[in-house]
Amino acid sequence: MGFLPVSKADMEAQGIEQLDFVYVIGDAYVDHPSFGHAIISRVLQAHGYSVGIISQPDWKDADSITVLGRPRLGFLVSGGNMDSMVNHYYVSGKRRRTDAYTPGGAAGKRPDHAAVVYGNLIRRTYKDVPVILGGIEASLRRLAHYDYWSDSFKRSILLDSQADLISYGMGEKSIVEIADALAAGIAVRDITFIPGTVYRTGCADDVCDGIILPGYRDMKADPAKYAQSFQIQYRNTDPFTGKALVEEYPDNLYVVQNPPARPLTVQEMDDIYDLSYMRTYHPSYEKLGGVPAVAEIKFSLVSNRGCFGGCNFCALAFHQGRIVQVRSHESIIREAERIIQDPDFKGYIHDVGGPTANFRHPSCHKQLSRGVCKNRQCLFPKPCPNLEVDHSDYLELLRKLRALPGVKKVFVRSGIRFDYLMADPDDAFFRELVEHHISGQLKVAPEHISDRVLSTLGKPSRQVYDEFVRKFNKLNDRAGKKQFLVPYLMSSHPGSTLKEAIELAEYIRDLGYMPEQVQDFYPTPSTVSTVMYYTGIDPMSGRKVYVCRNPHEKAMQRALIQYRDPAHYALVREALIKGNRQDLIGCGPKCLIRPWPPGTNTDRRRKTGGNDKKGRVSRTDSADAAKAGAKRKTKTIRNVHKKKTV
C-alpha cells in the first residue's frame, strides 16, 4: 500500500487531486501502530478518506503548512506521541539535547506547546478550514489546566490553538464520526454531539444533562476551585456514566466536553492493528539516521490499552481510560509473524504489553455495562472485593508467542502491576514470568516506601512490595536464575517531606545499592498529583497535602536517594541535619554518610592511618576531592534486591 502522501508528487503518484485531511504532526512520520498519527490516518483511510502528512513543519514559515494544499474536509493536528513540553524539558527546566521522535534524534524540530502553535499557523493561512486537535497534548489540556513550565493556569487548548474541535482520548471512534459529519456537509460549529470530543459554544443552554464546572476566572483566582473542578472531571472519565462538562470563560464563551467514547471491542481493536502499516519510518529519514524511537517498538507487541491501576501521577485515566481493552490472541500472533519476517529480527520479541502488561481484561465485568466506580479504585488502597484477578489469558498468549518458529525469547518490559500479581492465588504466571520472560532485570514501580507518600501516589503499601520482592527472589532461587528487580523511585512527590525522603534513603541503605533510575516528580497536565502540586489539596479527598516546591529541597530529596554518590555529600548532610537525623552521620553500619567529605585529608588519614610517609598532612580542597570521589565506581543497579530479605 505504501506510505501516505507527504508531498504533491506523492499525491499525484497516488492519483489524489485534493486530500480529504491534512495531518500536521510534531513527530517524524512513522507508519507504525505505536504512533497515534499512524493509527488515526490509517483508520480514516480504511473508511474511505484520503490523508496526507505534514511532519514537523517550520512553524516560523507559513508556507510550510501549504505543501499539500487545502484539504477538502479539514486539518488534523497532533503535538506528537509526547506532550511537547515533556519532550523538550527535564523537570529541572533544562532543555533536552535529543528528541527520539525526530529524524537523527535532533532536538528543536517542533515548537513548545506544539499543538497551539500549529493550530494558529493553520488558522492564519486557512481561516475557514476546520481544525481538529488530537493526541496526548490536546487530550490532557482539553480543559483549563495548570502548566508547570510557565507556572501558570492556562485556558483550554481548544481556545489557545483557535481549533474547532478536540478529539480526546485514543480517538479512533470520534475521528471517524467527525469525518462522516463533515463529509455530510454539517458545519464544524454544529458538530456538538460526538462522544470523545470537546467544542466551544456561546450558549450552554443546549447542553443536555451537563455539569457546570467552576469558571476559568474563578479557578484562576482560587486554586481550590480548580481542585473541585478536577474531582468532577475525574469522576466523569467513564463512557457509561460520564456527563457532559461545561467550563465557562469570559465574554459568554463556554468549552464543552462530551462524555468519552465507548471502549473498543476486541474485534475493533483487532481491526485497527490489522491495518496495512508500513511498520517503520518514512524512507526520506534514512539519510538522517532514521528515527530513534522506532528501535524501542519495532519488535514489540501491544496487547492492551487502558489501566485500572489508578496511580495519581499518571494521566492514563484521562487519556486511555480505566477500562482495559484488549486484542485477540490471533491478531497479536499475526503481527508477531510479520515481525519474524523482518530481516533485522534476531529472535527476540522485546515486549508484549501496554500501559500495564499484566492487565488483559477489565477489572470486573460490571464495568462493561455500568462503568467504573466513581468513588473507589480497583486496587487502591487495597484490591476491591469485586476485582477479578486472573493471569491465565496473558499466560496463554505468552506461551503461544514463545512457541512460534523463529522466536527465541519473549520478554515483558512493560510495567508489571505487582500488587495485582500478588493478589493472584495462582503462581503459574509469576513462575513462568521468572523462568521465561525477564531479560535479566524486571522493571517495577514501587515509587516510594513511606506509606504516607504511597497514599498520595495511589500506590499499595510497602508491605505489598516487600512480599513481592521476597516471592520474586524465591522463584528465582527455584529456577536457578540470577535476575534482579529494577525499582523506579520518585523524589519530591506531594506528601514527601525530608522525613519521608530520609526514610527512603534508609531503605536503600539496607538493600545495599544505589539506584540509577530516580525521577523527580514531574507535574504534567491532567493528573491528580499535578493538582496536588498546584493547589496543595488532594482533589479526591479535599485534604491538604505537603508540597515540595523549593528547588533546593527538591535537590536534597533526590540526593538522599543516591546518598552514596560523593558528589551529593553536601546536600545529604544538609538534609540529615535539617531532618534532625544526625544519627545517620558517622562511621556506624547504619550511617548514611561519614562525618567528613569523601577525599578530604581526614578521609585519607582514616584510610591510611594518619599522615604521609614524612609525617606531613597535605592540603586538599574538599570540593575538588568530592569531585574526584564522584568518579569512583559504585555498586550498579544490577545488585538490586540480590538475595536480600526486605
pLDDT digits (tens, 9 = 90+) for 18-64: 999 999 999 999 999 999 999 999 999 999 999 999 999 999 999 99
pLDDT score at 518:
81
Average pLDDT estimate for 538-557: 96
Model confidence band, residue 646 (pLDDT cutoffs 50, 70, 90): very low
Q: What amino acid is encoded at 68 in this protein?
A: L
User: What are the residues facing 343 on neighbouring strands?
Assistant: none
Average pLDDT estimate for 143-151: 98
Model confidence band, residue 642 (pLDDT cutoffs 50, 70, 90): very low
The CA distance from 530 to 6, in Å, is: 38
Model confidence band, residue 621 (pLDDT cutoffs 50, 70, 90): very low
Model confidence band, residue 603 (pLDDT cutoffs 50, 70, 90): low
Q: What's the CATH number of domain 8-204+248-257, 3.50.50.60, 3.40.50.2300, 3.10.180.10, 3.20.20.70?
A: 3.40.50.2300
Return mean pLDDT, the chain. 92
The CA distance from 190 to 194, in Å, is: 10
Average pLDDT estimate for 547-552: 96
**Cβ contact 469:418 at 8 Å:** no
Average pLDDT estimate for 346-366: 95
pLDDT score at 366:
87
Share of the chain above pLDDT 90, in %: 87
pLDDT(533) > 60: yes
The CA distance from 387 to 420, in Å, is: 9
Q: What amino acid is encoded at 119 in this protein?
A: G
The CA distance from 547 to 554, in Å, is: 10
Tens digit of each residue's pLDDT (9 = 90 or more) over 178-224: 999 999 999 999 999 999 999 999 999 889 889 999 999 999 999 99
pLDDT score at 617:
32
Q: What is the dihedral of CA 331, 336, 341, 347, to 10 degrees?
A: -170
pLDDT(474) > 80: yes
pLDDT score at 513:
76
Model confidence band, residue 230 (pLDDT cutoffs 50, 70, 90): very high
pLDDT(609) > 70: no
Of residues 188 and 615, the one with the higher pLDDT is 188
Share of the chain above pLDDT 70, in %: 93
Which DSSP category does 138 fall into?
H
Compute how many other C-beta atoms are within 10 angstroms of the C-beta atom of residue 527: 24
pLDDT(634) > 90: no
Model confidence band, residue 604 (pLDDT cutoffs 50, 70, 90): low
E strand intervals along 118-243: 131-134, 145-147, 152-154, 165-167, 197-201, 210-212
Tens digit of each residue's pLDDT (9 = 90 or more) over 581-600: 999 999 999 999 999 888 77
Tens digit of each residue's pLDDT (9 = 90 or more) over 329-355: 999 999 999 999 999 999 999 999 999
Average pLDDT estimate for 528-544: 97
pTM of the full predicted structure? 0.91
Tens digit of each residue's pLDDT (9 = 90 or more) over 272-305: 999 999 999 999 999 999 999 999 899 999 999 9
**Cβ contact 445:458 at 8 Å:** no
DSSP-derived secondary structure for 526-547: T-HHHHHHHHSB-TTT--B---
Model confidence band, residue 645 (pLDDT cutoffs 50, 70, 90): very low
For 580-611, b where at least 16 C-beta lie within 10 A, e where not — what string? Answer: ebeebbeeeeeebbbebbbbbeebbeeeeeee
Model confidence band, residue 612 (pLDDT cutoffs 50, 70, 90): very low
